[in-house]
Amino acid sequence: MKILVCISHVPDTTSKINFTDGDSKFDTNGVQFVINPNDEFGLTRAMWFKEKQGASVDVVNVGGAETEPTLRKALAIGADSAIRVNAQPTDGFQVSKELAKIVKEGSYDLVIAGRESIDYNGGMVPGMLAGLIDANFVNNCISLEVEGDKATAIREIDGGKETLTSSLPLVIGGQKGLVEESDLRIPNMRGIMQARKKPLNVVEPSETTPKTEAVKFEKPAPKGEVKLVDPENLDELIDLLHNEAKVI
């Protein structure tokens, strides 16, 4: 079984976010980038298939040379090879088109992507990718088993869970539950050294026209001041709630 894991290069959630060029571009200065958490769950599940069933695992990213450390980390975790599509991701459609080309050329049986990336939270790429390659698709996937050319997946739905079976090829949008956080792997020294020798292939993008563009970013409004009221002074609390907050 050939598995392709889609890897997004995203800012760490602890990073301080700023914008440049009139708030139209994300400022990457001083920002630490990591593997998108939803993708990391998928990569860890792919490693299970590699170790238990002898699957081959490749990882792919659409991005510039600055994303290669993230791909090298995926290789250190255990992926066999990496592919970088040499293009700056502009929207979900463009990324999906580039990934579809890689999937078709590689004849992959299973494509594992995160249900969404934690930077833009678009949640579009896995579904559009499945449509472009005419493959079955399971989103919000929290469990996946593969036997032969049949897959059994469990996904979260409103009010519960749903169990599905599908033939391969299959695209899934994974999330926490596909593996648990305690199952995630930290690259060891041996894996890091091996990753240096594993292939990281750079391919040029196709002529894909983006469908959207970012016009302006805006930070959430800062939190207002907090007034502390002595717990014994109920009259003051009631006055503030009535006359200032106007909630009673």
CA distances from 228 to 54, 111, 222, 246 (A): 61, 53, 18, 17
Kindly report the number of other CB atoms within 10 A of residue 132's CB atom: 17
Task: Report the percentage of the chain scoring pLDDT > 90.
Answer: 66
What mean pLDDT is predicted for residues 12-20? Answer: 87
- Quick check: 123 and 115 in contact, CB under 8 A? yes
What mean pLDDT is predicted for residues 181-203? Answer: 92
Summarised one tens digit per residue, pLDDT across range 68-101 is 999 999 999 999 999 999 999 988 999 999 999 9
Q: What is the DSSP letter of 204?
A: P
Summarised one tens digit per residue, pLDDT across range 103-122 is 999 999 999 999 999 888 88
For residue 126, the one-letter residue type is P
pTM exceeds cut of 0.95? no
pLDDT at 244 over 90: no
Q: Which domains does the chain have, with CATH numbers?
A: 2-220 (3.40.50.620)
Largest CA distance in the chain: 72
pLDDT of residue 49: 96
pLDDT of residue 248: 84
**Distance in angstroms (rounded) separating the CA atoms of residues 13 and 74:** 19
End-to-end CA distance of the chain: 63
pLDDT of residue 232: 87
pLDDT of residue 39: 95
pLDDT of residue 223: 82
What mean pLDDT is predicted for residues 29-44? Answer: 93
pLDDT at 22 over 90: no
Mean confidence (pLDDT) of the chain: 92
- Quick check: 6 and 60 in contact, CB under 8 A? yes
Q: Which of the residue ranges 133-147, 190-204, 205-219 would you say has the lowest mean pLDDT? A: 205-219
